[in-house]
Structures are given as structure tokens and as C-alpha cells.
Amino acid sequence: MDMPQQWWERNDIGYRQNRLFSGNQDLRELAESSGTPAYAYNAARINQNLTSLSDALAKEKIQFKIFYALKANRYLPLVTSLKLSGHCGADVCSPGELSLARQAGFHENEITYTGTSISDEDIECLKRHPGWCSG
């Protein structure tokens, strides 16, 4: 017997035959195979949300650029998926995040840098990348 539908369930996340799924991933199987804590990302859902946000802003004729702050989550497969979506750039706050953004495929003109109290070493690294986005 299936559990009653919860308020947060949608087509891409919810219970099926008393098992919690995100997309087609059985989250119990994921936790058992990888250990816990385990984190699951649904690239299709993330892309859908980026598309919805982009469409809503464009509909209102708002000029915009969306940048994902790598400090929120630096998981390379997630960052790469964001790059492949084509809906956002990357906001970085350190040379390490810059390197990660470049590794994920972001070009310099798709990257913004937000930083305070930058060290001399960081400044020297950033000077080697002159093609930053300008707001």
C-alpha cells in the first residue's frame, strides 16, 4: 500500500511503493550504497527551475544575468550541470573557486568575482584572468 501523498510531493520527488524517490533515483538505495549523510541532486529539476526563472524575467523584459555562487555548493558534477544548462554563469570568491568554475567549463566572461579582504596572492591570480563579466 502506498503512503498518502505529502504536501511537498511532485512528479519528480515523492514516495513510490513506500520508497522515497528523487527523479528515478531510489534514495534509500543511494544511502545504502554511498553511506550517510548522502546528498542527492536532480539536474533536471535544477535546470527546470533555472528555465522558469529565466522565462519569468524575460517575460517582464528585465535585463538580467544569473550567476550561481559556488560558495553555496562546490560539488563539481552539480557545477558542471549548471554550466551545461546554459542558464547561468558562476560567481566565485577565491582563486580555488575560479579554478573549479573553469574546470566545469565556464569561460572567463561567464564568471564574476565577489570578494573582500583579498590577499596579494589572490590579486596576482585574478590579474591573470582579465575577461571577467561586468555586472
**54, part of any domain:** no
Q: What percent of the chain has pLDDT over 70?
A: 93
pLDDT-derived band at 126, boundaries 50, 70, 90: confident
**53, part of any domain:** no
**102, part of any domain:** yes
**95, part of any domain:** yes
pLDDT-derived band at 39, boundaries 50, 70, 90: confident
**37, part of any domain:** no
**71, part of any domain:** yes
- For the whole model, what pTM was predicted? 0.76
| pLDDT tens digit sequence for 66-114 | 999 999 999 999 999 999 999 999 999 888 899 999 999 999 999 998 8
**Residue range of the domain that includes 93:** 64-127
**69, part of any domain:** yes
Which DSSP string do the residues of 68-100 spell out, in sequence order?
EEGGG---HHHHHHHHHHTS-EEEESSHHHHHH
**16, part of any domain:** no
How many structural domains is the chain composed of? 1
